[in-house]
């Protein structure tokens, strides 16, 4: 699981590396998953630690295209032609994918105790409505 922003993050570019410009790196990813999606770090499985992995993604002009979920929020038009390129992305390995997605869904649809909070439920695999 990784999170993509609609704006690039400031990262130092090292020669020979292709770090995804819009992914949430390391601690920012962990904070997002805990605070925005309700994944408790203390209850996280052993495999739930940030790791940098390589992903083959559609790219144009030496930049990865936005994900399908992010495309509707981007101002640039979607190109009809692209190449594929390898990108480094900080991500979490989810050994229990279905139960983790259920936990995210439940945490987003359940109001905190003693709160007048109105739930904004997510459905499917997209969390853009959250």
pLDDT digits (tens, 9 = 90+) for 63-102: 999 988 888 888 878 888 999 999 999 988 777 788 878 8
Nearest to 7 by CA among 57, 76, 105: 76
In a domain, 122, yes or no: no
Tell me what pLDDT residue 117 has.
43
31 sits in which H/E element: helix 26-35
Most confident of 6-10, 15-19, 48-52, 61-65: 61-65
In a domain, 91, yes or no: yes
Whole-angstrom distance, CA of residue 103 vs CA of residue 30: 16
In a domain, 80, yes or no: no
For the ranges 29-38, 86-95, 116-125, which has the lowest average pLDDT?
116-125
Tell me what pLDDT residue 84 has.
94
Tell me what pLDDT residue 71 has.
83
In a domain, 123, yes or no: no
Backbone angles phi, psi at 42, to 5 degrees: -65, -30
pTM over 0.75: no
Classify strands 50-60 and 83-92 as parallel, antiparallel or unpaired.
antiparallel
In a domain, 52, yes or no: yes
- Reported as a pLDDT band with limits 50, 70 and 90, residue 112 is low
Task: Pick 21 or 104 by higher pLDDT.
Answer: 21
Tell me what pLDDT residue 113 has.
55
In a domain, 76, yes or no: no
In a domain, 74, yes or no: no
Give the mean pLDDT of 105-112. 65
Number of separate domains in the chain? 1
Structural domain that includes position 22 = 1-6+15-65+86-110
For the ranges 16-25, 62-71, 97-106, 116-125, which has the lowest average pLDDT?
116-125
In a domain, 77, yes or no: no
What number of residues does the chain have? Answer: 130
């Amino acid at each position: 699981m990784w999170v993509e922003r609609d704006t690039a993050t400031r990262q130092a570019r090292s020669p020979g590396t292709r770090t995804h410009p819009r992914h949430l790196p390391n601690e920012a990813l962990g904070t997002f998953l805990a605070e925005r999606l309700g994944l408790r770090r203390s209850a996280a499985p052993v495999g739930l630690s940030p790791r940098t992995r390589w992903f083959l993604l559609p790219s144009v002009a030496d930049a990865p295209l936005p994900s399908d979920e992010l495309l509707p929020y981007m101002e640039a038009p979607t190109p009809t032609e692209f190449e594929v390129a390898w990108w480094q992305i900080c991500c979490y390995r989810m050994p229990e994918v279905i139960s983790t997605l259920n936990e995210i869904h439940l945490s987003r649809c359940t109001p905190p105790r003693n709160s007048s909070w109105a739930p904004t439920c997510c459905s499917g695999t997209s969390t853009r409505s959250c």
